[in-house]
């Protein structure tokens, strides 16, 4: 398979679309794939519909980190479970998955950052994680020859990585082997609602009768849900990433500071990205949800490049259709895969930071570059909840944290759909927090 995945990528999943099932999952990212996996494993008749390609958007375009470190306290227990699930998947799939537990290291440029690391380590201690604080000498012992002005750091050795654009389609094959029906190139246009509850979905290939629907559409979820009268304050930001040519190994795991991040790849190069910078396209939803995002903007506006116009067809584009019926083409068919151009100026600066920190290697040559649209919420944690409409479950807004936590959240959502105990407190992720007068608690992760 070539990367990035695009509409030209051959379809791999083309199961026959049934007339009826128990659950339809909308979205073929890791959230949807792992939800379908656990539903099928439990014997539930589940159909996963993906408008484009499995992992065609952010689930294949992320950094590939599988980290407990820095997680919001509400996410951390699920992430700990997710890491155990990744370990089991690695035993089943072997090296092909690209899973390696080489650690996640955050490095600090200021003492204030170190204080933030220390505050987060208290959560790690409560969960018996192997997180440790690092002195400059201890960082130098792990990254010999670096020239970065790091005043210290934090390391969780048990954290991991995998190759996302390989792993997620592989996991989709696993879901299919367990009985899930998976159909690429099949957009769900609308819900079919009768008697005040979900009774099916209208797809571009016809209706599927079902009892429940899981919306795991990533950056498209808000657009789909609003057409059904369910409003969530979800926006998306563009994150640029690059793959370097083959380079000597300086650290086997994942490293990030405020300016740049990198991780070792299976192919001998590195995946590199800006540490905290992203781009934001201003659209109608940005104005609608502005006040909910004020606390986040206070922290992030200097790290954001604001763009006034979204590319044609994007979920929050100025001309993107907001209303349509189940028997007419939808925005999801007009743009099958979000494939935005990366911010090459930002990636050039990332290469400069990499070279300055690692002078023994120098400025890396970029083999390829891409970007993804990260679906986010005002408090930077997802919505995992039943909607007010009976039969509808929402699993979206993973805010760039989805790849690592995907297996754990997939198991949680599958049990939520089945009406079984999920084993975790989901109150942090409730849909009602945006409308019940609660003060939004912006994620305390790092």
Give the CATH number for residue 381: 3.50.50.60
Full pLDDT tens readout for the chain, 446 residues: 567 788 889 999 999 999 999 999 999 999 999 999 999 999 999 999 999 999 999 999 999 999 999 999 999 999 999 999 999 999 999 999 999 999 999 999 999 999 999 999 999 999 999 999 999 999 999 999 999 999 999 999 999 999 999 999 999 999 999 999 999 999 999 999 999 999 999 999 999 999 999 999 999 999 999 999 999 999 999 999 999 999 999 999 999 999 999 999 999 999 999 998 999 999 999 999 988 988 887 777 778 999 998 899 999 999 999 999 999 999 999 999 999 999 999 999 999 999 999 999 999 999 999 999 999 999 999 999 999 999 999 999 999 889 999 999 999 999 999 999 999 999 999 999 999 988 888 887 77
From CA 430, how far away is CA 384, in angstroms rounded? 6
CA-to-CA dists, residue 197 to 124, 188, 200, 392, angstroms: 42, 17, 9, 8
Q: Residue 33 domain-assigned?
A: yes
- E-strand spans in 245-313? 254-256, 260-264, 270-274, 278-281, 304-307
- Are the CB atoms for 49 and 24 separated by under 8 Å? yes
Which residue segment(s) compose the domain that 206 sits in?
Answer: 23-434
Q: Residue 446 domain-assigned?
A: no
Q: Residue 66 domain-assigned?
A: yes
Q: Residue 442 domain-assigned?
A: no
Q: Residue 439 domain-assigned?
A: no
- Into how many domains does the chain fold? 1
Q: Residue 14 domain-assigned?
A: no
Q: Residue 151 domain-assigned?
A: yes
The closest of 196, 227, 221, 229 to 391, measured between CA atoms, is 196
Q: Residue 5 domain-assigned?
A: no
């Amino acid at each position: 398979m070539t990367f990035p995945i695009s509409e030209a990528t051959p379809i791999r999943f083309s199961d026959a679309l049934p007339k009826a099932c128990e659950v339809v999952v909308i979205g073929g990212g890791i959230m949807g794939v792992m939800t379908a996996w656990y539903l099928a494993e439990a014997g539930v008749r589940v159909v996963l519909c993906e408008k484009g390609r499995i992992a065609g958007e952010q689930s294949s375009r992320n950094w590939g980190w599988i980290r407990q470190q820095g997680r919001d306290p509400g996410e951390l227990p699920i992430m700990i479970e997710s890491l155990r699930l990744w370990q089991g998947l690695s035993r089943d799939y072997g090296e092909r998955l690209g899973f390696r537990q080489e650690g996640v290291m955050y490095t600090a440029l200021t003492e204030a950052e170190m204080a933030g690391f220390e505050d987060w380590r208290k959560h790690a201690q409560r969960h018996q994680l192997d997180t440790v604080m690092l002195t400059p000498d201890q960082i130098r012992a792990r990254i010999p020859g670096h020239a970065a002005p790091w005043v210290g750091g934090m390391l969780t050795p048990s954290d991991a990585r995998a190759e996302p654009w390989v792993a997620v389609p592989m996991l989709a094959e696993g879901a299919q082997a367990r009985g899930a029906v998976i159909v690429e190139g099949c957009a769900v246009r609308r819900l079919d609602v009768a008697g005040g509850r979900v009774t099916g979905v209208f797809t571009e290939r016809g209706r599927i009768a079902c009892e429940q629907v899981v919306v795991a559409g990533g950056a498209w979820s808000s657009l789909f849900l609003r057409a059904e009268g369910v409003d969530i304050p979800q926006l998306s930001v563009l994150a640029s990433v690059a793959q370097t040519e083959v380079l000597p190994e300086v650290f086997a795991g994942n490293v990030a500071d405020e300016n740049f991040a990198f991780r070792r790849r299976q192919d001998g190069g590195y995946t590199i990205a800006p540490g905290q910078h992203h781009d934001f396209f201003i659209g109608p939803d940005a104005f609608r949800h502005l006040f909910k995002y004020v606390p986040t903007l206070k922290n992030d506006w200097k790290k954001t490049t604001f763009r006034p116009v979204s590319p044609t067809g994007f979920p929050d584009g100025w001309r993107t259709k907001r209303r349509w019926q189940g028997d007419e083409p939808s925005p999801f068919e007009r743009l099958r895969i979000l494939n935005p151009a990366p911010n090459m100026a930002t990636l050039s600066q990332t290469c400069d930071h990499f070279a300055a920190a690692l002078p023994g290697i120098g400025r890396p040559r970029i083999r390829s570059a891409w970007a993804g649209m990260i679906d986010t919420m005002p408090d930077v944690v997802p919505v995992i909840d039943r909607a007010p409409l009976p039969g509808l479950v929402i699993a979206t807004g993973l805010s760039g944290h989805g790849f690592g936590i995907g297996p754990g959240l997939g198991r949680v959502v599958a049990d939520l759909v089945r009406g079984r105990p999920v084993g975790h407190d989901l109150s942090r992720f409730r849909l009602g927090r945006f409308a019940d007068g609660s003060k939004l608690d912006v994620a305390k992760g790092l």
